[in-house]
């Protein structure tokens, strides 16, 4: 019956490949982006998601920290940065970062995610100091810090070979690298939106070098601005090729672009349909990346919950504070409580699994079903 829908939607060939465990081609990627039957594409992605993870849905009690917003790259899609002379620029000292970590000492946080702008004034020692500051305040936490773009800046200021920089960061306490800064692997979009930043080859080379020294990372794709479908498929294929080579990617996160307060805010940004499609296409194309994350801050909690049936097996976590897409006129705190995350996952019919930055399992809490999903009293056998 469901197979009839798949064939009617024109997705029969892709379905066969998925069932046979065959890799999807570039053209299949285009088809998945262009086919109007999103629910069927979601169903296909769910087949792969359940083959890999069953009902398991990963979440983390984490804290995001943005140590500086000063950045000289001027990316048109970004509202977070302050140019070096802007009075709104900030740099957190190691002590201020420690205070932020200690502010949540009462919560069993297992991951800290720390990124910032490309701030050329910061010396090499600063990066090692802030990593050590976190690990001193919270020795057991797993630390995911610095995108490939920041790593390039850290290497530049260190005047050391990249491998040595990774060694220093790992000794100081970095456990993994987040996936940011990849944007879209396209020379055209690079030129148009983020030309001051290094290009896709450099991002991939830095990721390759990290994976080779045993530092795993995530990967992202920023979508919903000026990119074209071919460019997104190319991006996914390049990540898949690197993953074949290194196996170092833990998770892929499609990042839903937020136009508000950016230099290109006249563009509408992605819809909920687009968010779900990105998750599903990623799950189907990235057959060698273990986890697909729906980042609820950018996708919204509501879309994220649906995404758990469209290919996503991870929803990020408690977050606490998030600066990158924050409206400065609202509260800095943006969080989901532990109970809320459990409820969202249970209501989606999934099994919550608490993880750390390296996807080591911390706990497998019992899901609490919402009352309306409980079988009616006396219904059994009635």
Which 8-state DSSP code applies to residue 376? Answer: P
Measured in whole angstroms, how far is the alpha carbon of residue 231 from the centre of its chain?
19
Closest to ligand V47 by CB, 53 or 258: 258
Minimum distance from CB of 144 to ligand V47 (Å)?
6
The smaller minimum CB distance to ligand V47, of residues 58 and 257, is found at 257
Give the shortest CB-196-to-ligand V47 separation in angstroms: 14
Shortest CB 267 distance to ligand V47, Å: 11
Which of 261, 351, 343 has its CA nearest to residue 69? 261
Residue 275 or 316 having the CB closest to ligand V47: 316
Q: How far is the CB of 288 from ligand V47 (least distance, A)?
A: 17
Which residue's Cβ lies closest to ligand V47? 180
| Other beta carbons less than 10 A from residue 181's beta carbon | 27
Estimate to the nearest angstrom the gap between the alpha carbon of 108 and the chain centroid. 22
Residues in contact with ligand V47 by the rule CB under 6 A: 77-80, 115, 147, 178-181, 183, 218, 220, 222, 253, 255, 257-258, 262, 295, 298, 316, 324-325
Closer CB to ligand V47, 94 or 179, in the complex = 179
288/151 Cα distance (integer angstroms)? 25
Strand bridging mode 142-145 / 111-115: parallel
**Quick one: 28 or 183, whose CB is closer to ligand V47?**
183
- Is the distance from CB of 142 to CB of 108 less than 8 angstroms? no
CB of 269 to ligand V47, least distance (A): 8
Lay out the sheet containing 217-223: strands in order across: 217-223, 249-256, 291-292
30 by Cβ neighbours in 10 Å (0-12 / 13-18 / 19+) ranks as middle
Smallest gap from residue 258 Cβ to ligand V47 (A): 4
Nearest residue (CB) to ligand V47, 31 versus 147 = 147
């Amino acid at each position: 019956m469901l197979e009839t829908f798949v064939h009617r939607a024109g997705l029969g060939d892709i379905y066969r490949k998925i069932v046979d465990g065959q890799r999807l081609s570039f053209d299949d990627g285009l088809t998945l982006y262009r086919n109007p039957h999103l629910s069927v594409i979601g169903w296909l992605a769910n087949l792969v998601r359940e083959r890999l993870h069953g009902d398991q849905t990963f979440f983390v009690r984490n804290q995001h920290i943005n140590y500086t917003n000063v950045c000289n790259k001027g990316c048109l899609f970004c509202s977070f940065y302050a140019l070096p002379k802007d009075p709104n620029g900030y740099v957190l000292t190691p002590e201020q970062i420690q205070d932020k970590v200690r502010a949540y000492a009462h919560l069993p946080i297992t991951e800290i995610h720390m990124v910032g702008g490309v701030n050329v004034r910061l010396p090499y020692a600063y990066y090692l100091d802030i990593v050590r500051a976190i690990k001193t305040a919270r020795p057991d936490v797993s630390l995911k810090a610095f995108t490939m773009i920041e790593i390039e800046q850290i290497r530049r200021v260190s005047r050391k070979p990249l491998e040595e920089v990774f060694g220093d960061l790992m000794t100081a306490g970095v456990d993994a690298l987040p996936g940011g800064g990849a944007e879209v692997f396209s020379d055209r979009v690079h030129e148009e939106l983020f030309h001051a930043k290094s290009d896709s080859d450099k991002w991939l080379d830095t990721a390759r070098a990290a994976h080779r020294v045993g530092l795993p990372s995530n990967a992202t794709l920023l979508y919903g601005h000026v990119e074209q479908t071919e460019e997104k498929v190319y991006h996914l294929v390049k990540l898949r090729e690197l993953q074949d080579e290194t196996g170092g990617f833990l998770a892929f996160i499609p990042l839903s672009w937020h136009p508000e307060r950016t230099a290109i805010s006249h563009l509408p940004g992605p819809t909920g349909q687009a968010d779900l499609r990105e998750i599903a296409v990623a799950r189907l194309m990235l057959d060698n990346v273990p986890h697909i994350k729906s980042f609820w801050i950018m996708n919204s909690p509501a879309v994220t919950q649906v995404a758990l049936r469209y290919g996503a097996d991870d929803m990020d976590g408690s977050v606490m504070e998030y600066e990158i897409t924050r409206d400065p006129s609202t509260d800095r705190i943006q969080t989901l409580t532990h109970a809320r995350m459990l409820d969202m996952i249970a209501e989606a019919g999934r099994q919550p699994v608490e993880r750390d930055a390296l996807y080591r399992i911390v706990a497998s809490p019992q899901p609490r079903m919402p009352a309306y999903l409980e079988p009616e009293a006396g219904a059994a056998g009635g």
